[in-house]
Structure 1
Amino acid sequence: MSTDTGNTATRMNSTNDWVTYLSKVELPVLANTLRRIDELTDSSNSTVNELANVILNDAQLTSQVLRLSNTVFYNQTRTQVSTVSRAITLIGFDAVKSMAISSLIVDSLLKRNDRPHLLHCLARAIHAAVQARCLLPRRNEQALEEVFIGALLMNIGELAFWSCDTEQAAELEQALRLEEPPVDAQKRVLHSTFTEITRGLVEAWSLGPFIKEVVSAGRANSKAASLVRHSVEMARLSEQGWRGADMDKALEALAEDIGEAPATVRDRVKVNAGEAARVAVSLGIPQVTALMPGSQNDQSASVHQAPEVDPALQLQILRDLTNTLAEKPDINEVCQLVIEGIHRAVGMQRVALLMSDRSGHQLIPRKLGGKGTDTWKDNFSVPRDGTGPLGVLLPHARCYIYQPKRDAQPVSFDRWLGRVPALIAPIKAKGRLIGLFYADNAAADYVPSQDQLTAFAHFVQNAQLCLTLMSDH
């Protein structure tokens, strides 16, 4: 591996490369904080104070821990908790330690990326952690939190990998999109596997003997470690529903771990899934609840559906546009309103208006809206001759839903452009193409709906009307 740690193009060629890269380049703060927290054991007042100080040093972590401390999942007495010290006293050292670790994992990884694979992994990890904690036969607080964190971190290598923007992450993502077997794809692209990277990180980050046992090869040495492994497997299978031969085997294994009948375990895990969704909301990631099975209905069918258009907001913004056009039309004001309407009322995450550059050969950004469009300003361009990886975005005669081809080429500055479904519309002046509106949903795995296309077209028509009025004067 290159010693130039600032080089984002560095390629990792072994498990050791990945462990070093993730630990020292991408996630050193997370690694060190997890190590510090995990080393703390409730042996004296000094360690209680140390835990409180680690949490209080991070305002976001403090608010997350306090929010979790007031949930029924951790605080069954429902006594209001407003300080970290009170949380440790009332709920227990190990429970607060568990909250801190889970909050750190979520915040550290998600603020780096919103890749769908990361969201799926987080949803699965939280679901498995809640299942393991809820299923464990009641022992002591330490055992409850041990299985929770064990399940949460059992796939830390995969979580850490997907949180990073690397060339190999984009390659693996494409391989999985083309349905290459996951482990084969990992070996080919990463020269390692997520399982091997996880074992390396558990060792390098000193995550403790229990997690080391959970991720080790071979049979689990304890019932608790076995429960964690089977909870993670069951959480993975539940994404396809609660029925099937593989799910039956997973439930039988869990039943053996906890000494209950498989039918009883099936009923319990469905209830626990609902609890997992509530924990995800408390952790500040409600978006992953759609990726979890519901306690009543399997929500997996809704994951790929576009959000509802907001007709009231759409009407309000269209009225503002009409008023602007009735006065002295200002193209910048109109286009800004159109961008906002497409983003907020139509429900598209990223929106751009591209117009001809001075040469007339490229369409380049004029207005941008939504998270993740910062790099578009200097990089996003669509050749007027339709060449290059983004030439496919050159619009047809009218508004339409763009569907990418399976072999769509990536661009270096944005992993979604040209490779995810989008809404596209031409902007014309005197019959000549001078620009286009583009809107997509980045990582969200769904095709825009016909309602969204219709609403998108209404907003674009207003921008077109403004241009027509200006060209007539």
Structure 2
Amino acid sequence: MIEHDGTTPERLTSTRAWVTYLSKVELPVLANTLRRIDELTESQNSTVNELANVILNDAQLTSQVLRLSNTVFYNQTRTQVSTVSRAITLIGFDAVKSMAISSLVVDSLLKRTDRPHLLRCLARAIHAAVQARLLMPSRNDNALEEVFIGALLMNIGELAFWSCETPQASELEQHLRAGEAPTEAQKTVLHTTFPEITRGLVEAWSLGPFIRDVVSAGQPTSMASSLVRHTVEMARLSEDGWQGKDMDRVLEQLAKDIGEAPATVRDRAKINAAEAAKVAVSLGLPQVTALMPGQQESPGQESAPQVDPNLQLQILRDLTLSLSEKPDINEICQLVIEGIHRAVGMQRVALLMADRSGQLLLPRKVGGKGTEAWRERFHISRGGAGPLDSLAEHSHCEVFQPTAQAANVDYDRWLGRVPALVGPLRAGGRVVGLFYADNAASPYTPSSEQLAAFEHFVQNAQLCLTLLSARH
């Protein structure tokens, strides 16, 4: 039996232990919802309303499905869809099921952690799923969605493992960083392998006979299963480019699967990779697009996202209106947080304000995934020797660059260790607040356009503070 103290498990030493832990302790909601959706699909009596109700029970899932329903990838008629029921009727039961499962998997796993290994695995899974759906020769909707979900979930054991903050996950990271072969490292640390965990989860979560065939150790029993296996391997290999002996071998196997020439498959796959990046964005995962082939500006580098000028202008107008009416520092700062998060494109944002002593900056507002722990633990002491105190040394809005000796904090893997935007707030010549924004696992340096937009938003907060100070 697995003991669980609410944070991390005891050391797990078998496939069965990992499957039980992931299913019953870490991801029971995901497991149950996937099982329910699969049951609806298998039943001959399932109705549009039943699937719609499963989706509508989750506001985030509903939003994602509707967003995907209006993308060209799923909706080539470009008819606007505004309800889940309409999406099922217009686009099809199987397509909406596919959207629901992909959205569930992404949201359920990503909200738990931002480990680079998880982001890499999600990028690979989405790329493979899109390749499988677009390469599948059949025009049968069920077959298209079947291979999409098959490719997405073929490595669900690895995805589930990296989504959990366990001591063994950190230990496996160290083994892989040291250059140990992945399979051997898994056996050493987990006493099993990711494929074995995947097979266990497929059975435990009742993911159906097709996925069971895809992940089995034996030969695939259908062209569709073979296609899925080969697209998953192609997605992995493509991270190192579209050439090479291993890639040639996989392309030849895919060519046999779908009855086309290897050169044609290569050309189609390159085009499909660009489509996969668009699907990732629609799924709310823009940060993984840089991990897909053809998206990097240079090996290992990610480029900063584009500033949204229209959204920036809209929020700045709201700020101007608020300032012209009755300035309220809380309302202004909330708008600034939203502007930095949405228009500037920073994933995590915080406003810290000085306490009564003036010596400590504490979180007043935070925004973005992964900032929950900041509310209680993110603090900067002015003139002290804390791990994040250097953030308060900036005299104006600028890009913070961590040093090689950047200190680590135990509640956040990235805080103070990745490039960030910082901007001080002043009152009476003293720094009384600080805006901080970073992109967690995405290691790129914010662009000059992002810095300029960030500065505009901070200036509005400063103006509000100045107006309020003048009234007292």
Q: Provide the TM-score with structure 2 as the length reference.
A: 0.76
Structure 1 residue 206: Cα displacement = 3.0
Structure 1 residue 103: Cα displacement = 4.6
Structure 1 residue 141: Cα displacement = 6.0
**2:243 partner letter:** R
Give 1 or 2 for the bigger CA radius of gyration. Answer: 1
Aligned to 2:263: 263
**Distance change in 2, residues 1:207/1:363 (3 Å):** same
**Distance change in 2, residues 1:51/1:34 (3 Å):** farther
Unaligned runs of 5+ in 1: none
Residues 245-394 of structure 1 correspond to what in structure 2 (within 5 A)? 245-277=245-277, 284-285=283-284, 287=286, 290-291=289-290, 298-301=294-297, 304-309=302-307, 338-339=336-337, 341-394=339-392
- The Cα offsets for residues 451-472 of structure 1, whole Å up to 9 and x where unpaired, read as 3334434554666675699499
Match of 1:57 among 54, 58, 62: 54
**Distance change in 2, residues 1:134/1:339 (3 Å):** closer
- The Cα offsets for residues 352-396 of structure 1, whole Å up to 9 and x where unpaired, read as 232333445432123444454343222111233443433443424
Matched residue SS, 2:350: strand
Matched residue SS, 1:420: coil
Which moved further from structure 2: 22-31 or 336-345?
336-345
Structure 1 residue 243: Cα displacement = 3.4
- Separation in 2, partners of 1:77, 1:247: 35
Question: Is the 2:123–2:292 Cα contact (8 Å) retained in structure 1?
Answer: no
Count of residue pairs brought into register by the alignment: 465
- Separation in 2, partners of 1:409, 1:230: 43
- Separation in 1, partners of 2:384, 2:311: 35
**CA RMSD, 1 decimal:** 4.7
Match of 2:44 among 21, 42, 47: 47
- Separation in 1, partners of 2:407, 2:130: 40
Match of 2:415 among 397, 414, 417: 417
Residues 204-283 of structure 1 correspond to what in structure 2 (within 5 A)? 204-217=204-217, 219-220=219-220, 222-277=222-277
Question: Is the 1:51–1:97 Cα contact (8 Å) retained in structure 2?
Answer: no
**Distance change in 2, residues 1:211/1:402 (3 Å):** same
Aligned to 1:24: 24
- Separation in 2, partners of 1:223, 1:421: 46
Question: Is the 2:127–2:292 Cα contact (8 Å) retained in structure 1?
Answer: no
- Separation in 1, partners of 2:307, 2:133: 39
Matched residue SS, 1:417: coil
Matched residue SS, 2:46: helix
**Distance change in 2, residues 1:155/1:386 (3 Å):** farther
Matched residue SS, 1:366: strand
Matched residue SS, 1:58: helix
- The Cα offsets for residues 288-344 of structure 1, whole Å up to 9 and x where unpaired, read as 7834758xxx22329822233456766787788789889998766665565455445
- Separation in 2, partners of 1:153, 1:256: 23
- Separation in 2, partners of 1:329, 1:396: 26
**1:151 partner letter:** A
**1:148 partner letter:** F
Structure 1 residue 34: Cα displacement = 2.8
Question: Is the 1:170–1:415 Cα contact (8 Å) retained in structure 2?
Answer: no
Question: Is the 1:155–1:195 Cα contact (8 Å) retained in structure 2?
Answer: yes
- The Cα offsets for residues 38-75 of structure 1, whole Å up to 9 and x where unpaired, read as 45676xxx633278625433315678668777877668
Aligned to 1:451: 449
Structure 1 residue 449: Cα displacement = 1.4
**Distance change in 2, residues 1:356/1:266 (3 Å):** same
- Separation in 2, partners of 1:328, 1:82: 36
- Separation in 1, partners of 2:321, 2:386: 40
Q: Provide the TM-score with structure 1 as the length reference.
A: 0.76
- Separation in 1, partners of 2:459, 2:413: 29
- Separation in 2, partners of 1:396, 1:9: 38
- Separation in 1, partners of 2:287, 2:330: 37
**Distance change in 2, residues 1:420/1:226 (3 Å):** same
- Separation in 2, partners of 1:413, 1:247: 41
Structure 1 residue 234: Cα displacement = 0.9
Question: Is the 1:351–1:439 Cα contact (8 Å) retained in structure 2?
Answer: yes
- Separation in 2, partners of 1:321, 1:68: 31
Aligned to 1:199: 199
**1:48 partner letter:** N
- The Cα offsets for residues 399-442 of structure 1, whole Å up to 9 and x where unpaired, read as 43223356655434333312322122445566665543322123
Question: Is the 2:420–2:437 Cα contact (8 Å) retained in structure 1?
Answer: yes
Aligned to 1:9: 8
Structure 1 residue 35: Cα displacement = 3.1
Matched residue SS, 1:299: coil
- Separation in 2, partners of 1:306, 1:343: 13
**Distance change in 2, residues 1:433/1:170 (3 Å):** farther
- Separation in 2, partners of 1:52, 1:328: 47
